[in-house]
Structure 1
Amino acid sequence: MAERILIVDDDPVQRRLLEEAVRRFGYQPTVVETGVEAVRVLTGSEAQDIELVVLDLVMPDLDGMGVLGRLREAGVSVPVIVQTSKGGIDVVVSAMRAGAFDFVVKPVSPERLQVSIQNALKVARLEGEVQRIRKAAAGTLTFKDLVTRSPAMERVIRLGERAAASSIPILIEGESGVGKEVIARAIQGSSERRSRPFVTVNCGAIAENLVESILFGHEKGAFTGAVDKHVGKFQEASGGTLFLDEVGELAPEIQVKLLRAIQESEVDPIGSRRPIKVDFRLISATNRSLLDMTKEGRFREDLYYRLNVFPIWVPPLRERKEDIPDLARHFVARFSAEEGRRNIVGLTPEAVALLQAYDWPGNIRQLENAVFRAVILGDGPFLTAEEFPQIAAQVSTPIRVVSSEPIVIQTPRASAVVAAPAAPAAMPAAGGGVAAGPASPMSGWSPAPGSFASGSGPAPFGFLRSLDEHGHVRPMALIEEEIIRIAIDHYGGRMTEVAKRLGIGRSTLYRKLKDYGLDDTPGAEAAE
């Protein structure tokens, strides 16, 4: 999904120029005419979709400086690029002090505007990643920081917010790698225990003879080798949250002590003469069915009902594939910064389509590792399908590209980092075809024998053959004639729109119609 940029200018001509430029860069423009409208958008429900603002300083009623002041008062941190026809140094300094990221003078060149947008979104990306890391470390990560737009995750977030308002024990269920710990951290960060200790215990990774000591602690001399007193995880989490991951792996004798700790809010360290009171919020997680384990006698029934007071099911990634583009952008942003590959700014539509076509049995963790590998392999500014060879080898169906624009990196609030260059009007398709529309198949995927790409059948609307039936490249004139026919049909004979989309003047278009004998094409005479 392309990033949305808000354009604020009272000049209709300037608005139109900026709108076309922003759209050509690969973004979605939103246009308003006054500063009052801009403040309304940036402080309302639409604010979360706006990634950047291009703001005119000189406007009637509320000018650009007034807009910057209102945004600062409202705590809106969206990056702003200001522009004006008066480029005095005092104006620049005032705008920067008011919170603007950059300053451009009218008429700004497309190249200068694109670089400014790229830099602003890049800084926003880095600030967003730093903020996310700080929140996770401080225990203040909330559900607003989660990278998701899936309806399936809305229920998870809604349940998590309800659970965060109390101290009820929570059981998070889901396949390995779906992000159960992130959900647990968001619950803690949204509760009264935010900024308190968040102690994680992977119950399946602890040696069986050490589980009791690690969880409940031990006194000095309690057993051979206990040369010092050890504080258990329950005591470490006192006042905060204890997260027991893979709780189904606990041995039966440890389950008994865990049940007592939950019931009585106290633990018995090994060798201690008396129990120790603890105050903790318990969140458990499992990738197995505790109910089935209980029926089979491998998990205590009374403990199961103690843990499963407020269950939350996190769906696997294959059931929320709309999250894949945002997650991939997030991982690209993180790894490109960590690995010093800052030239990598996003993913191509083919790469995103490939990632969404895969079922991801390892869920988000597998996607994270795949993107990490791709960042290391990538040479260009955008990761392509070629950087995901292991995924491509396991996807057997042809890939449909939803968007013809490169997918650029986003911050946790779905903001971009770097603008995409203008996408070409056509993209290579399998078998020598050229996809003339946004729904083009991924290049490199072989079509079925006898399909339109091999020249043996009629091509669907929006596709052009670059090879003839003998395998030779078709003459340019034939391809040009065909694309003109498609454009006339697609835009209902509106020749002004046809000329604009083909990137030629109307006089040139009419000359080509006459040259190719298309001036009598049905629909070409339609009213403009």
Structure 2
Amino acid sequence: MNQLTSPRAQETVAGGAVLVIDDDPVQRRLVDAALTKFGYRTILAEGGEAGLVAFDGPSGADIVAVVLDLVMPGVGGLDVLRRLRQRGIAAPVIVQTSQGGIESVVGAMREGAFDFVVKPVSPERLRTAIANAMKVEAMEGEARQTRRRPAGTLTFRDIVTSSPAMDRVMRLGQKAAASNIPILIEGESGTGKELVARAIQGSSDRKGKPFVTVNCGAIPENLVESILFGHEKGAFTGATEKHSGKFVEANGGTLFLDEIGDLPLDVQVKLLRAVQEGEIETVGARGTQKVDIRLISATHRDLLQRVKDGLFREDLFYRLNVFPISVPPLRDRRDDIPALVSHFIRQIQVKEHRGRVHGIMPQALAMLMAYDWPGNIRQLENAVFRAVVLADGDMLTVDDFPQIRLEVDGVDLDAYADAPAAAAAVSIPVERPVATEAADRAYSGRFGLVRALDDGGNVRTLADVELEMILFAIEHYKGQMSEVARRLGIGRSTLYRKLKEYGIDPDEGRPMSAQG
């Protein structure tokens, strides 16, 4: 039977402890010794079940990171990761795997693991993995304080997209903003459904009014009715004071019900009345209360199927589905990835005051475009955030996205590396001087960045940008074409083909028409 050993009273780093979960006592001792040497306090668990129990123990709140063996009897590493995610435990997890277990590693990364190490792990590699995990965790904590924008200030101009797949979303959203009918936004988790809802609010006559969000899937079932409609003091055990509820909070503005498909059936009846009559019944109250709200619902589920399965009221479905908007997944709008990466880097620089990273190498961008992003835009944002925090250089490389690199291993990236959009996002300037054409030239010359504007102040064509980058690389690496190709993140044959298309002599690095 698995059991939890006593916590080790070692010197604490940042006031926390590292939980080591491994059924092998030798491996536990090795990891424990390494972590102790580096000043971490450890908690040792003899297997997956004991590791999960540790979070409920007296030292559970102290756990700041987890070192997890993937292959264990009973509750294995992947099961531990799933359960941690279900419980909302965000401590970064470094998984251990034996040589050759790449498929297991990929599965672990999909389940939310931060990093992986191969057994037998060197103490320094383990130290780096945990230090990086703690660094990203600390930065994310700071970022969470600044990421939220005031409600109602977003418009459709703030949505980063140039993809044809998003054209319909933008058109429908702008039409919806001009009316007051209920809207149902459908799409996978992480596609930006709340962003679309906020843009609708910010483009309507309710802009500046309350925008109240409720995640219906995250509320305990017995509290949903009270949270939505409010309760009177003494309405039930524990109701020590009156609570107004989300409908009242949103009065005059917009109520955004995320994951509406998870709403309990008994609450659906009251929601139907609120939508039909514009009034709510507070728990414990004797009468009803009028409210003026704009209702926007969202779901990643197939609501019609839930109606067929008896899990969602048909009459409520048709009330909510008056104006449906479907947000496509990121894999269906890959041409948005360069602009999104650029946006996230700039966002991190402004909010975190870190201007060291100013762009991404073409090969790394091609890799991001080749990946399917099951977590969609939210997953891309998190990946870029982590890469910027941990990057050693001023340009993000393939090595800064280790999990994604594992996922796309074996995929031919040339098709994505050749995309013009990739060349456009090679360099992302920050903290620019005054936005004049002369300043743009001076800034480009000083930092070796691609100039964005032409002499007339217009955005340059993608072909011009790509050509300038190639010529700059040839000059910078003194005509060493293998190095040029490697640094540009493309194959040597691709480089020579592009040079031929632009009429450049590979041996001279200048237009063929200028020779002789």
Structure 1 length normalisation: TM-score? 0.57
- Residues 501 and 271 of structure 1: is their aligned pair in 2 closer, same or farther, counting only changes over 3 Å? farther
Alignment correspondent of 1:471:
none
Mapped contact 2:184–2:298 kept (Cα < 8 A): yes
Alignment correspondent of 1:296:
309
Corresponding position: 1:398 with 2:412: yes
> 1:98-136 CA deviation, whole Å, 9 max, x = no partner?
xxxxxxxxxxxxxxxxxxxxxxxxxxxxxxxxxxx8994
Partner-residue secondary structure (3-state), 2:392: coil
Alignment correspondent of 1:434:
482
* Whole-Å separation in 2 of the counterparts to 1:183 and 1:355: 24
Aligned residue type for 1:434: S
- Residues 378 and 310 of structure 1: is their aligned pair in 2 closer, same or farther, counting only changes over 3 Å? same
- Residues 134 and 379 of structure 1: is their aligned pair in 2 closer, same or farther, counting only changes over 3 Å? closer
Long gaps (5+) in structure 1: 1-132, 444-452, 454-458, 464-485, 511-528
Partner-residue secondary structure (3-state), 2:318: helix
> 1:46-94 CA deviation, whole Å, 9 max, x = no partner?
xxxxxxxxxxxxxxxxxxxxxxxxxxxxxxxxxxxxxxxxxxxxxxxxx
Corresponding position: 1:245 with 2:258: yes
Partner-residue secondary structure (3-state), 1:424: helix
1:425 alignment partner, one of 460, 464, 474 = 474
* Whole-Å separation in 2 of the counterparts to 1:491 and 1:505: 9
* Whole-Å separation in 2 of the counterparts to 1:176 and 1:296: 22
Partner-residue secondary structure (3-state), 1:218: coil
Written as runs of structure 1 = structure 2, the 5 A alignment for 1:99-498 is 136-395=149-408, 396-400=410-414, 401-402=417-418, 403=422, 407-409=426-428, 420-421=448-449, 423-425=472-474, 434=482, 442=490, 462=496
Aligned residue type for 1:407: V
> 1:168-219 CA deviation, whole Å, 9 max, x = no partner?
1000000000000000000000001000000000000001111111000001
Give, in angstroms, the shift of residue 427 of structure 1: 11
> 1:249-287 CA deviation, whole Å, 9 max, x = no partner?
011101111101111111111111110000000000000
- Residues 234 and 420 of structure 1: is their aligned pair in 2 closer, same or farther, counting only changes over 3 Å? farther
Structure index of larger Rg: 1
Aligned residue type for 2:412: P
Aligned residue type for 2:426: I
Give, in angstroms, the shift of residue 225 of structure 1: 1.4
Q: Which has the higher contact order (CA 8 A, sep 6+)?
A: 1
Mapped contact 2:344–2:385 kept (Cα < 8 A): yes
Aligned residue type for 2:317: Y
> 1:293-346 CA deviation, whole Å, 9 max, x = no partner?
001111000000000000000000000001111111111112233344211111
Q: What is the CA RMSD across the aligned residues, in angstroms?
A: 3.5
* Whole-Å separation in 2 of the counterparts to 1:376 and 1:135: 20
* Whole-Å separation in 1 of the counterparts to 2:313 and 2:423: 54
* Whole-Å separation in 1 of the counterparts to 2:400 and 2:506: 37
Aligned residue type for 1:253: D
Partner-residue secondary structure (3-state), 1:364: helix
- Residues 303 and 491 of structure 1: is their aligned pair in 2 closer, same or farther, counting only changes over 3 Å? closer
- Residues 139 and 501 of structure 1: is their aligned pair in 2 closer, same or farther, counting only changes over 3 Å? farther
Counting matched residue pairs gives 331
> 1:218-264 CA deviation, whole Å, 9 max, x = no partner?
01111111111100100100100000000000111011111011111
Partner-residue secondary structure (3-state), 1:147: coil
Give, in angstroms, the shift of residue 438 of structure 1: 11
> 1:137-160 CA deviation, whole Å, 9 max, x = no partner?
041210011111111111100000
* Whole-Å separation in 2 of the counterparts to 1:203 and 1:388: 33
* Whole-Å separation in 2 of the counterparts to 1:206 and 1:375: 34
Q: Which stretches of structure 1, 4 residues or longer, exceed 6 Å deviation after superposition? A: 415-419, 435-440, 504-507
- Residues 490 and 152 of structure 1: is their aligned pair in 2 closer, same or farther, counting only changes over 3 Å? closer
- Residues 203 and 295 of structure 1: is their aligned pair in 2 closer, same or farther, counting only changes over 3 Å? same
Single out whichever of 337-346 and 141-150 deviates more from structure 2: 337-346
Partner-residue secondary structure (3-state), 1:178: coil
Long gaps (5+) in structure 2: 1-145, 450-468
Mapped contact 1:329–1:346 kept (Cα < 8 A): yes
